[in-house]
Amino acid sequence: MTTPIRSYEKSLQLWERAKNSLASGVSSQFRLYNQPHPMFYQRAKGTRIWDVDGNEYIDFTLSQGPMIVGHSNPKVLKAVAHASKEGQLFAGQHELELQLAERIQKLVPCAELLRFSLSGSEADHTALRLARGATGRTKCIRFEGHYHGWLDNVAISVNPPIELAGQPDAPRPVPWTAGINQSDLDETIVLQWNDLDAVTRAFAGQANEIAAIITEPVMCNNGCILPKAGYLEGLRRLCDQHGAVLIFDEVITGFRLDLGGAQKYFNVVPDLAVFGKAFASGYPISVIAGKRKFMDLVATGKVLHAGTMNSGNPTVAAALATLDLLEKGGGSAFKKLFRLGKRFMKGLKNVALNTPHKLVVQGPGPMFHFGFTDKPRIENYRDTLSYDKQKLGQFVLGMQNRGIRLIGRGLVYISAAHSNEDIDKAVDAARETLAEMG
């Protein structure tokens, strides 16, 4: 089977030019790993995105997740345009901000009080600062393979090489990058996710030092691994028992699994939660939400939270419009996200059956992960190290050449704008790509 011919020449030319002004030609390190090189895009609408060479794609990256109602949604753009005419940034309060806060407060179980920021990274940073301020303790439990942003105290053991990671029952904190202080490593307890016994042992030895557990409720960034039955409940119980703060990083799961987030979907309420991505259709906003006894520390200024650009008018308007669309029809958008995601997952599994390629596909549906491995299922970060990265790259490029845009690490996002036809076209492209790979 011959590969469809697509030109990416203009993208290549622009990238070569960009390297003269942007470090490595990109503004986020992850963009550097696109194939066949960093791509330049020109416009996007609904489920489609077009690159500067005129190639059209059905988009399942959704800008790394935020475009939950599709690109350039007219209701969102209209709300942004109207808010922008009133002013871009007041450096003061405005009524739309209050409306958004009240809306989230009603939707999210833990959101007794909240604050707005710009990115998930800084909201996670705020949550950890709050936990330390509330408990007077310094250490935090986090899990191998979870992503909580790129700031110093969380850029640890995100994807550690196995030779540095230590034993599975006693992982070592591994810096993700140069420039991380040893003190950040010393204050971090790294454990395998979904292993409640390991968390119990950590508290048994260091309970008086542990301020918080921070976790993705679904391990989205590596393998899209669901929590085992009773696991999140166990974390809640241990935090209550030992006076630690339970933090859910809902930057991906929030407003994607349910309007109330993963905490409502799984019926486990954390003390603090962080939201972003599927929230404002690509406009920069995040939320730190939590129980009053913790958020009061921010209210009184004992724990500092600030930001000149927080809750700008157009961004808040985009978030309100996005939530309007997600709430429309009594939550029918979420039924669609699950239905289409499961349709895509089933299609990928089926087309791989008649090939020599062993493809694992797993996740709840609105987001899921696929990868090439001999393992029947991925259960923790170390299982993800079995993925054949070269084969995954070959598959992603083959899909791109057939007009399907995927994230290079195998994470798939579904939007409320996608259709059965979009899913079926992607499955057909997967069938052709796998056949081409031999």
> Which residues are identified as catalytic?
147, 249, 277
Q: Quick one: angle between helices 420-437 and 389-401, nearest 10?
A: 120
Per-residue CA distances from 292 to 2, 54, 249, 251 (Å): 60, 51, 18, 21
Per-residue CA distances from 315 to 67, 283, 322, 326, 328 (Å): 14, 5, 11, 17, 20
Q: What is the dihedral of CA 287, 363, 169, 139, to 10 degrees?
A: 0
Per-residue CA distances from 348 to 27, 97, 357, 437 (Å): 32, 42, 11, 15
* Cβ–Cβ < 8 Å for 314, 345: no
Phi, psi of 222 (to 5 degrees): -140, 95
- Alpha carbons 302 and 296: distance in angstroms, whole number: 9
Backbone Cα Rg of the chain: 22
CA 405 to chain centre: 17
Closest CA to 220 of 179, 167, 257: 257
- Alpha carbons 96 and 84: distance in angstroms, whole number: 12
- Judged by DSSP in three states, 318 sits in helix
